[in-house]
Chains A and B, each alone.
Chain A
Amino acid sequence: MTRTVLRLNRPKVICEVFEDEVVAINLETGTYFGMSGSAKEVWSLIEGEVPVNGMVAHLALRYTKPPQEIAADLELFTNSLLAHGLVTAEQTGGSIPAAALNGPVGSWQAPKLAVYDDMQDLLLLDPIHDVDEAGWPARKPDAAP
């Protein structure tokens, strides 16, 4: 029986779990992502290859929030991870892993993904059209400091 799991989009994306949040970096674009709220717990389920449709059951054991509310938050969050290319959805077989979360019951906080995309100005918005005789970019007169 196959199931859908989310996997870190390696090697394009790297991810680090800090004591409070998860930080991911898209190495190709230089965009950074901070994951807050209960994202760290969700991330541990992703790393544990818990199927997407099984995550709510795991989280409901840990949090007092109604499962349907956790499911709604989770859908938003995982869709956001997919939309930003931080994870890929893959089909896999084998047995479903045991519960990946430990610790006492906690307070569920909707996982959030913050995008730090000020790196976008690295994109070369003005392609080089003019070059000198040797082939080096011709400096625009108004570009002089």
Chain B
Amino acid sequence: MARAQAGRSPVTARAATPAEFVEQAEWCFARAAKAAGFDQRTFDLGGHRIEMQFAGTKLLDPMTRALAHCAARGDGPAELRVCFFDTESTGTAMAPPAWSPDQYTGSGQIAGFCDDRVETSYQVGWDVFQCLDRQRRVALYWTPSWRLLPWWEVSFPLRVILHWWLRDTELQPVHAAAVGNAEGGVLIAGACGAGKSTTALSCLGSRLQYAGDDYTLARVEPAPYVHCLYNTAKLDPQGLERFPHLAASVANRGRLDREKAMLFLHESQPAALIGGFPVRAVVVPEVTGRQDTAVEPATQSLTMLALAPTTTRHLPAARARTVAKLIRLTKSAGCYKLLAGTDLAQIPEALTSLVERLNREAASG
């Protein structure tokens, strides 16, 4: 059952405060759930139990498929409830915005309408509104129509809300791929197009397992660790040509003219996934155009500049805290460059060799 009851409407006037707006939005969600039906799923994300509640059915699969490998086991209270609804499929409007159009920013943050308790974001052009009330432990995700949901949202649901919710913890969603084994592994950092997906997917079938190709959940203290947050893999058309054996597993084959190919490895290759591992190093791929692949030490600053700008660019708010976590992560993990060659078979060999050496060194203290 939706905990917010669709009783007397609090939406009698534009909200005066961010917290008041969240209450209004939650009431709209409850009303949508009453009209279109209610469902929920619970996930364990980096040790944090999150309950996702849905009004209607249209957002349930898109928002949970990438998280399916993290489905919570057993009962227990969730620490955060996230309510999803869209207006078109539920016939329920969202509360009117309590801010002016000039408060929208490129990062998504609604300037002047968030505070230490409440975060708000609206991605102009994507038409996705999200908010979080830390005190009441509730978040909302709304879009006017499920049909307009950007395809990439399906590959990293909850990314922004988790970033907000984990602000004061040692966890941080990071824009990095990750491969490794139970003893340890590496984060693969770089901006979009730097080779994260190619590097991570080239390791499928090797001795290294997969923990993500785009966003992963890193823990900074007491020692660096990465959780597999999303079981997705995304490939542009050229990338898909490099991995023809993955074509049969592409989930959105009919839309590749406008979307990256998306795979849900929890469904197609569950054994390739790993829940998480200690981070031994951050690796920055560099596509060389040469045939052979090599690994060499990198500087901490190069690594930081591969990891941080792209992460803080995507995630609104808490920039200083995010940067502080990424600095600690960079300084406590090893830093390497992967000089990636065109012979893809050499990439997992080079990374496996690096990971196994770093794991041996870690084990020997």
Query: Of B259, B305, B320, B330, which contacts A34 at CB under 8 A?
Result: B305
Interface window among A20-28, A47-55, A94-102: A20-28
Chain A residues closer than 8 Å to B127, beta-carbon distance: 136-137, 139, 143
Q: Check: A63 CB closer than 8 A to any chain B CB.
A: no
Q: Mark B78-105, 1 if CB is under 8 A from A, else 0.
A: 0000000000000001101100011011
Measured between alpha carbons, how far is A98 from B348 in the docked complex, in Å? 52
The residue on B at minimum CB distance from A134 is B96
Q: Check: B146 CB closer than 8 A to any chain A CB.
A: no
A143-B101 contact given A20-B299, A27-B319, A27-B320, CB 8 Å threshold: no
B301 touches A137 (CB 8 A): no
Interface window among B69-77, B280-288, B307-315, B354-362: B307-315
User: Number of contacting residues on A, CB 8 A?
Assistant: 36
| Count of A-B residue pairs with CB < 8 Å | 99
Q: What size tier do the contact residues of chain B reach?
A: 35 or more
B313 touches A122 (CB 8 A): yes
Q: Check: A77 CB closer than 8 A to any chain B CB.
A: no
A residues 35-91 near B (Cβ < 8 Å) are 36
Chain B residues closer than 8 Å to A125, beta-carbon distance: 106
Measured between alpha carbons, how far is A16 from B104 in the docked complex, in Å? 30
The residue on B at minimum CB distance from A117 is B309
B338 shortest CB reach to chain A, Å: 19
A135 touches B301 (CB 8 A): no
Chain A residues closer than 8 Å to B149, beta-carbon distance: 145
A135-B96 contact given A23-B304, A122-B106, CB 8 Å threshold: yes
B18 shortest CB reach to chain A, Å: 16
A145-B144 contact given A20-B299, A128-B101, CB 8 Å threshold: no
Chain A residues closer than 8 Å to B312, beta-carbon distance: 25, 30, 119
Q: Check: B289 CB closer than 8 A to any chain A CB.
A: no
Q: Check: B125 CB closer than 8 A to any chain A CB.
A: yes
A118 shortest CB reach to chain B, Å: 7
Q: Mark A117-145, 1 if CB is under 8 A from B, else 0.
A: 01101111111110100111101000111
Q: Check: B294 CB closer than 8 A to any chain A CB.
A: no
B94 touches A128 (CB 8 A): no
The residue on B at minimum CB distance from A133 is B96
B130 shortest CB reach to chain A, Å: 14
Measured between alpha carbons, how far is A70 from B323 in the docked complex, in Å? 32
Q: Check: B331 CB closer than 8 A to any chain A CB.
A: yes
Measured between alpha carbons, how far is A118 from B300 in the docked complex, in Å? 20
A14-B96 contact given A30-B107, A34-B301, A124-B105, CB 8 Å threshold: no
Using a CB–CB cutoff of 8 Å, the interface residues on chain B facing chain A are 93-94, 96-97, 101-102, 104-107, 122, 124-125, 127, 129, 144, 148-151, 191, 258-259, 299-301, 304-305, 308-309, 312-313, 319-320, 323-324, 327, 330-331
Using a CB–CB cutoff of 8 Å, the interface residues on chain A facing chain B are 11, 14, 16, 18-23, 25, 27, 30, 32, 34, 36, 116, 118-119, 121-129, 131, 134-137, 139, 143-145
Not counting A21-B301, A127-B102, a sample of 17 additional A-B residue pairs whose C-beta atoms are within 8 angstroms of each other reads A19-B299, A20-B301, A21-B300, A25-B308, A30-B313, A34-B305, A36-B301, A116-B309, A119-B313, A122-B106, A126-B124, A127-B101, A134-B97, A136-B94, A139-B148, A145-B149, A145-B151
